[in-house]
Amino acid sequence: LYNYTGHERSILASGKQVSQAVLFGRPDFFVVTCNKLKIVLNIMVNTGLDVVFSDCDNVFKHDPFSQQVSFGSMMRSGSYDYVYGRKTGPGGPNQADIHEEPEKANTGFYYVAGSRKQPGIRSLYEAALQRCNTGCKDRVAVDRPCDDQENFWDLLVETRNGRSKDARAFQCFRHCDDEPCEGVAEADTFNYCDMNPFEFPEGSYGKAASD
């Protein structure tokens, strides 16, 4: 594909190649999922562009970029550095959870602003990748899988709680329409928010296909 489209329209991905299907929890599964972080980071670093990432098994019943849906509207507003989908579970989304700050969220479909605040953004992604590369040996909770979703949100929460030692790390995390961070420059503030889970239910919801 890269040879066909050329360097002006594509980026050559780096990382370990996995050429066959792998089961959840197997070593190559973690390679595949962590490669997703690496690809998004490479695109941001090499192009300075914003990125929308989608897992290949997502099914969209409408235009996700339309201004009439939450994801498209939030992405176009320029107010957020990261727009993510909530983890719901088999019971489906809960209205009361919308815009409540989660401990962990889904990384199967999201928007990240690679055109601004690159030092802080890169700090998050590079820390998550480093944890992937070390098999999560430095993670406190060792009972969870070492995949991209766990690593990224672990690092986000740790950085949000002031535990990052990286000088580039964001100093404040502003979720959705929370009050601005007092005394913290906008360049050091990570603005993130969840898209409407009723518009974008994740796959573990049992009625996702019919709804």
pLDDT band at 194 (very low <50, low <70, confident <90, very high): very high
CB 202 within 8 A of CB 86: yes
Angle between helices 27-47 and 148-160 (to 10 degrees): 60
Pinpoint the alpha helices (H) of the chain. Answer: 2-5, 27-47, 70-77, 118-133, 148-160
* Token pair recorded at residue 119: 């030092």
Distance (Å, whole) CA 168 – CA 4: 37
Do 194 and 102 touch, CB atoms closer than 8 A?
yes
pTM listed for this prediction: 0.89
Q: What's the pLDDT tens digit per position in 23-56?
A: 777 777 888 888 889 999 999 998 999 999 999 8
Report the pLDDT value the prediction gives residue 210, as an integer from 0 to 100. Answer: 66
Both tokens assigned to 203: 């796959």
Distance, in Å, from the CA atom of 82 to the CA atom of 79, rounded to the nearest integer, reads 9
Residue 58 has pLDDT above 70, yes or no: yes
